[in-house]
Amino acid sequence: MSATDATLKAKYPAKAHCRRVAKYLTDAGFSRDGVIYLEAQKTRMVEDDDQAMHFRQRRYFFYLSGCKLPDAYLTYNIPQDQLTLFIPPIDPDSVIWAGLPESKEEAYRKYDVDHVLYTDEVNAALAAYGPSGSTTVYAIPEQVSEHITFLPFAATQFACLKEAIDECRVVKDSYEVALIKKANEISTLAHIEAAKVVRHATNEQELYGAFIGTCISNGAHEQAYHSICASGTSCSTLHYIRNDQPLRERLNILLDAGAEYECYCADITRTFPISGTFTPESKTIYDIVDEMQQSCFKLLRANVKWEDVHENAHWVAIRGLLKAGILVGDEQEIFDKRISVAFFPHGLGHYLGMDTHDTGGHADYDDPDTMFKYLRVRGEVPAGAVITVEPGIYFCKFILDPVLEDPGLSKYIDQSVLDKYWTVGGVRIEDDVHITQDGYENLTDTPKL
């Protein structure tokens, strides 16, 4: 058994997460005499149809329960350190269609909780917390059902729980890292399969099918995000979603795809030539992006400032594009005028966890500085965070044309050289890394070229 699978034999550490969130709240000055209350995502019906919509568990609820059941609830009594999960009881009308629901005994066995009750007992359980006269209930306001009553509580505190969980989620424990690693292991099998399929594929959709099919066959039934199976110039569309174009006469594939495993995500990008061999231009760009990533890896350690790592990627890009002859002029001027942003317009990476773009990054999308506007993590990256390192260089006419039309900026670009690169489309290489005190652990073992 792999070390990852051995770690995952234990229960998801819901109680530890409850304690961590409670500590965050009390450290922030909120009352310790309190109860955390959360609801799972509801079963929702498809409009004008009698089928349930695709279900995705609420991350706040999963973090404190490890439970993927729809329509469940939880309470965590902070001073007593007691976690109670409320699961849906048997609905006799639905058993013939859906089978028996998870029983209390199964729930006790599966989840790291102290008590399991049925969902029709939630209000009674909440009423039992109240009589002390001082208890605060912590909840996420837009995630409280109408039939729930907090009247027995002395105070309701709706302003801080979401933020507390968002911030606690940044630092992963070893169980969460193992889940992300497992999502990566399955995604790697799927990336390898998709790369094999490209040898005889005629359309992007064959890679798409191979990727998702391989994830499902290996136990990951959900995708972390919509796969990006781009070919040719579509590789320059950062979140390309069509995945249906013929591969004929196109140079490269950019495959950005990751499985979700037990609510945890992988996010992996590989770029490779359809023919098996890069053209010289594609190889030039691939090597620059590879160097951007390798150079950024060297900077990773606890509390590194993410803006510094992102800037480093730009410097490597600028030097590489100057060497290739696409850029011309003084490298400091090119950096200061943000010319490289037209080739590398997105951020170097984002936190990764239960969400692909995970919480706690404090992006500033209003930043007037184009180099940092789309950087999804700002400030220091703590030990224990999992973050993507995903540099890229793209040849996108929509972005580059305004630069080429501006004489103050176009003087830094040799258009006759640039013209040889449009068909490269774009190159991105993306791995998921776990930040440690002195460095990092790369959780992605997907082969590179």
Burial class (CB in 10 A: 0-12, 13-18, 19+), 214: buried
Interaction residues for Mn ion, span 264-293 (CB under 5 A)? 267
Closer residue to Mn ion in complex, CB, 150/344 = 344
Mind giving me the DSSP string for 419-445? Answer: TTTGGG-EEE-BEEEEE-SSSEEE---
Residue 391 to residue 426: CA distance in whole angstroms: 11
Contact in structure between 354 and 59 (CB atoms under 8 Å): yes
Binding segment toward Mn ion, per CB under 5 A, in 10-18, 121-129, 246-254, 259-267: 259-267
Which neighbouring-strand residues pair with 402?
Answer: none
Query: Shortest gap between Cβ of 55 and Mn ion (angstroms)?
Result: 24
Residue 182: which residues within 8 A CB-CB, separation 6 or more?
Answer: 4, 5, 8, 261, 262, 264
Interaction residues for Mn ion, span 286-325 (CB under 5 A)? none
Expressed in angstroms, the distance from the first to the final Cα of the chain is 29
Query: Shortest gap between Cβ of 439 and Mn ion (angstroms)?
Result: 21
Query: Shortest gap between Cβ of 267 and ligand GLY (angstroms)?
Result: 5
Query: Shortest gap between Cβ of 209 and ligand GLY (angstroms)?
Result: 19
Q: 25: which 2 tokens?
A: 């709240």
Query: Shortest gap between Cβ of 281 and ligand GLY (angstroms)?
Result: 25
Closer residue to Mn ion in complex, CB, 62/374 = 374
Query: Shortest gap between Cβ of 376 and Mn ion (angstroms)?
Result: 9
Burial class (CB in 10 A: 0-12, 13-18, 19+), 206: middle
358 binds Mn ion (CB under 5 A): no
Query: Shortest gap between Cβ of 254 and ligand GLY (angstroms)?
Result: 11
Contact in structure between 386 and 180 (CB atoms under 8 Å): yes
340 binds Mn ion (CB under 5 A): no
Query: Shortest gap between Cβ of 258 and Mn ion (angstroms)?
Result: 8
Position with the least CB separation from Mn ion: 267
Closer residue to ligand GLY in complex, CB, 110/226 = 226
Mask for 369-398, x = binds Mn ion (CB under 5 A): -------------------x----------
Closer residue to Mn ion in complex, CB, 77/356 = 356
Q: Indicate which of Mn ion, ligand GLY, none lies near residue 256 (CB less than 5 to 8 Å, by partner kind).
A: ligand GLY
Contact in structure between 350 and 357 (CB atoms under 8 Å): yes
Closer residue to Mn ion in complex, CB, 267/307 = 267
Residue 363 DSSP SS3? coil
Provide, for the chain, the percentages of residues in helix, strand and coil under a 3-state DSSP scheme, each rounded to the nearest 5. Answer: 40, 20, 45
Closer residue to ligand GLY in complex, CB, 118/225 = 225
Q: Which residues bind ligand GLY (CB under 6 A)?
A: 225, 256, 267, 356
Any idea which residue has 């039934």 for tokens? 221
Residue 183 to residue 220: CA distance in whole angstroms: 7
39 binds Mn ion (CB under 5 A): no
Query: Where does this chain bind Mn ion (CB under 5 A)?
Result: 267, 388
